[in-house]
Structure 1
Amino acid sequence: MNEQQRLEEMDAFSQRYRYDMDYLREFLRSSPEGFEKFANFQPLSMHREFLPLEVFWVSKLAAMQVADCGACLQLNVRMALEADVEPHLVRACIQGGSNLPEPLKDIFDFATALASYKNIDPVLDQRIGTQLDQRQRIELGVSVATASVYPTIKRAMGHTQSCSLIEIEFEA
């Protein structure tokens, strides 16, 4: 894909999700080769093969709250709603996970601990082990690990944004 096609793709994404893509445009202009490698990484951040939809998005939203409290989190809220995650589950994630059903609360807590590089409580780890098989645990790890890539790049480039209230929109 050439630079013009990449820019058109970014414009379409930006309009669809109301997300500022200026940092990625700058990345593309500054390092086309680096951006190409980044573009090859992007599908990994949305890979979901074995995880149930809600588990994927709860883990992604939990990790994103650790990594970012602004535009990237809002983008993921919009994407979760577009993927048909129930708005009350998305809202519960944004409110710290306490109103999630118990199995999803465990996922939220586990993903938050992973994203924060904290030790995993052995009791929580055991409960996760009964909920998820090894393939699902790997996939959850990928979901959490990739959540920090975008906000980290933005911060490194000086495209930081202060925390903002997150909108839970019922129309994705």
Structure 2
Amino acid sequence: MSNYQEQLQQLTDFENHYQYDAQYLKDMLTLAYSSYEKFAGFQPMASHRDLLPLEAFWVAKVAGMQTEDCGGCLELTIKMAKEQGVSSDILNAALKGGQALPEALQVVYQYARQVAGQGQVDQEVMDAISESFSKGQLLEFGVIIAATKVFPTVKRAVGMKEACALISVDAA
């Protein structure tokens, strides 16, 4: 099997496992292979977690993804979080705006939304997040929040406009 065929099979397996439409990635593999190679090199960044607690990591990813996407990429994020063991209660609370999250995760949610929104992080939120997380952890938040922008941006670049839909943790 050629490298191309192996990569195509990996994408098909990914689609089947997560019930996710990865056609834009298949198109990139076929039509812009060097771009696909660079994109594939980015993938580890999108899932990198070293310093952050599991729930904080996934709440930040959900919050970041909510600013960029309300369809397939967000649903995929929820499925991956569940697969990693994040509770449905935490994920539902994040999907509903974060108010029902435990206090420490509310701060993570607010922080991630503000960072992803490209505005200034409120000083009160910055102070609270800095009290709970090290500078290294804040940098890791930055990496994962930045990564949430890439997938929806690539999809929008080729005209993929999914209708906004309510995401259900139970359905994910």
What is the TM-score normalised by the length of structure 1?
A: 0.97
* 1:29 has 2:14 as partner: no
* 1:137 has 2:138 as partner: yes
* 1:60 has 2:49 as partner: no
What is the TM-score normalised by the length of structure 2?
A: 0.97
C-alpha contact 1:62 1:108 (8 A) present in aligned 2: yes
Once the two structures are superposed, what CA deviation does each residue of 1:70-102 show, in whole Å capped at 9, x if it has no partner?
A: 000000000001100011000001001110111
What is the match of residue 77 of structure 1? 78
Structure 1 unaligned spans of 5+: none
After superposition, residues 113-124 of structure 1 pair within 5 angstroms as 113-124=114-125
What is the match of residue 169 of structure 1? 170
What is the match of residue 43 of structure 2? 42
SS in 1 for 2:12: helix
* 1:86 has 2:90 as partner: no
Deviation at 1:29, TM superposition (A): 1.0
C-alpha contact 1:78 1:169 (8 A) present in aligned 2: no
What is the match of residue 106 of structure 1? 107
What is the match of residue 10 of structure 1? 11
Q: Find runs of 4+ consecutive structure 1 residues off by over 6 angstroms.
A: none
* 1:158 has 2:159 as partner: yes
Q: Which amino acid aligns with 2:165?
A: S
C-alpha contact 2:92 2:168 (8 A) present in aligned 1: no
Once the two structures are superposed, what CA deviation does each residue of 1:118-168 show, in whole Å capped at 9, x if it has no partner?
A: 111111101111110011111000110000100000001111101012121
Once the two structures are superposed, what CA deviation does each residue of 1:100-123 show, in whole Å capped at 9, x if it has no partner?
A: 111100000000000001111111
- Cα distance between partner residues in 1 of 2:157 and 2:32: 14
Once the two structures are superposed, what CA deviation does each residue of 1:6-53 show, in whole Å capped at 9, x if it has no partner?
A: 110001110110000111111111111110011011010000000000
- Cα distance between partner residues in 2 of 1:167 and 1:106: 23
Q: How high is the sequence identity, in percent, across the aligned residues?
A: 39
